[in-house]
Amino acid sequence: MNSEHVIAAKFGGSSLADAKQFRKVKEIVESDPGRRYIVPSAPGKRFEDDEKVTDLLYEYYAEINQGKSGKATQKKIRARYQDIIDELGLSVSLDREFERIEYAFSKGAGEAYAASRGEYLCGLLLADYLEYEFVDAAEVVRFGQDGYFEDERTNFFLRGRLARAERAVIPGFYGADDAGEIHTFTRGGSDVTGALVARAVQAELYENWTDVSGFLLADPSIIEDPRKINAMTFAELRELSYRGAAVLHEDAVYPARREGIPIHIRNTNHPEEKGTLICRKLSPEQEIPITGIAGRKSFAAISIAKNRMNAQIGFCHKLLEAFDENHITFEHMPSGIDTISVILPLEEYRQKQEAITASLQRLLRPDKISVDEDMALVTVVGRGMRSESGIAARFFGSLGEARVNIKMIDMGSNEINCTIGVSNGDFETAIRALYDALVQ
């Protein structure tokens, strides 16, 4: 497929919450003829106390499974879509679609099917409104019957189908297996669909339209009016997303990154703003020392002490085996000569506390095992972590001045991030101190 000026654009739930938002989307799409492949989410909240359509569909499905009629909830869902149809003067009718949904629910269609109908119905309306072809994601996004996403088969089907569509709307979030059973990505999975479409059509750009004007350097609930990030690399996006900066679904990075397709986060309500561009490499004028500060609370640190641990061949292998046999993932593993610590989510540790302790004792025969259940992780991401002199001094000096006790330090192997462990109670203080020292 010719990639000359082809843009894949995903619009989030807030961008399609009602008819007014649909009009904004149409204006954006029509402002650039390159926006030929559009991926919608299900309608989101119209106001603060409103309900997302996907949540209503989960509720509707649960009511049917409990033997209730579900009519009141179905009426709410139908009203959301009918309001859009009426206000925009669309010719499409969803009556038959709701009959199919009700029938499928009565026959035990899965929860994934229920959740997917929000994107499916929204896609039908948006395709009609834009006068684009509608391509059902169930035809082109492939899952195995075990529920695992099939990347290469999806690319094969998507590429072939979209080669025959000059302009198309492809609903996000879901796909199907070869038997036709619906499967979904995790919440926010429309981001993934958008990236898959961008890869399939070899787009020059993947636009992700949402209700924010890009990534911020820090959480605005902690830092008042934090600076916006104009550009970052894929590696930095991955680090920030993993550390808790929730703007873009982190799995959406891979299809675009693999093909070198830049991702542009834009604001549907303020399309004149530049947003945040994510690409493989930044130009010198785009470079800034610190890309972002992010973090999460509620981790546990398991510390294993054993004399001459560093001289014991296979010690780390046995340590990892203890976590593997208990199906536990971990975040960090800082070590010293006679000690090594494993940082993992607190909830996961508490669920398997006895089992993991028994495995560690059996495999490692440690001198001592101690656990700190009061740990938060704060990460600073940016090229300045490795290239700008004085960053480290300001980093640790600011925490000392703020009287934040550092429990753990881990510098990433790619040298674009530094993660520290602090008490949960010091989490916000640490982020404010680091922002003031490194950004202001």
**296: confidence class by pLDDT, cuts 50, 70, 90:** very high
367's tokens: 């001198």
Instruction: Note whether 236 and 275 are same-domain residues.
Output: yes
Decide: helix, strand or coil at residue 89.
coil
Please enumerate in sequence order all residues whose Cβ is within 8 A of that of 75, keeping only pairs 6 or more positions apart, or say none.
none
Please enumerate in sequence order all residues whose Cβ is within 8 A of that of 193, keeping only pairs 6 or more positions apart, or say none.
10, 39, 137, 141, 170, 171, 172, 173, 185
User: 3-state SS of 180-241?
Assistant: CCEEECCCCCHHHHHHHHHHHCCCCEEEEEECCCCCECCCCCCCCCCCECCEEEHHHHHHHH
Decide: helix, strand or coil at residue 300.
strand
**1: confidence class by pLDDT, cuts 50, 70, 90:** very low
pLDDT over 70, % of the chain: 95
Whether the per-residue pLDDT at 285 is higher than 70: the answer is no
User: Looking at 208-222, 230-244, 323-337, 354-368, which range is the least confident one?
Assistant: 230-244
Q: Is residue 150 part of a domain?
A: yes
Q: What is the CATH number of the domain that holds 324?
A: 3.30.2130.10
Residue 415 confidence (pLDDT): 63
Q: Is residue 347 part of a domain?
A: yes
Residue 383 confidence (pLDDT): 74
Question: 80-125: per-residue pLDDT in tens?
Answer: 999 999 999 999 999 999 999 999 999 989 999 999 999 999 999 9
Q: Which residue among 218, 251, 286 closes a domain?
A: 286
**Radius of gyration of the chain measured on its C-alpha atoms:** 24
Instruction: Note whether 302 and 281 are same-domain residues.
Output: no
Residue 411 confidence (pLDDT): 78
Q: Which residue among 253, 270, 286 closes a domain?
A: 286
Total structural domains in the chain? 2
Average pLDDT over residues 397-405: 96
**Cα–Cα distance, 355 to 323 (Å, whole number):** 10
Give me the chain's average pLDDT, please. 92
Instruction: Note whether 277 and 195 are same-domain residues.
Output: yes
> Domain of 11?
7-286
Q: Is residue 324 part of a domain?
A: yes
Instruction: Note whether 244 and 358 are same-domain residues.
Output: no
Instruction: Note whether 280 and 352 are same-domain residues.
Output: no
Instruction: Note whether 225 and 247 are same-domain residues.
Output: yes
Instruction: Provide the β-strand partners of residue 421.
Output: 377, 408
Q: Is residue 372 part of a domain?
A: yes
Instruction: Note whether 89 and 219 are same-domain residues.
Output: yes
Q: Is residue 31 part of a domain?
A: yes
Instruction: Note whether 38 and 134 are same-domain residues.
Output: yes
Instruction: Note whether 278 and 315 are same-domain residues.
Output: no
Q: Is residue 1 part of a domain?
A: no
Neighbours of 200 (CB within 10 A): 25
Average pLDDT over residues 231-260: 81
Instruction: Note whether 362 and 274 are same-domain residues.
Output: no
**Cα–Cα distance, 110 to 113 (Å, whole number):** 5
Instruction: Note whether 257 and 181 are same-domain residues.
Output: yes
Instruction: Provide the β-strand partners of residue 376.
Output: 422
Q: Is residue 2 part of a domain?
A: no
Instruction: Note whether 71 and 210 are same-domain residues.
Output: yes
Whether residue 338 contacts residue 323, with contact meaning beta carbons closer than 8 Å, is answered with no
Q: Please identify which residue in the block is written with the tokens 């879901």.
A: 174
Q: Which residue among 269, 286, 303 closes a domain?
A: 286
Q: What is the CATH number of the domain that holds 210?
A: 3.40.1160.10
**3: confidence class by pLDDT, cuts 50, 70, 90:** very low
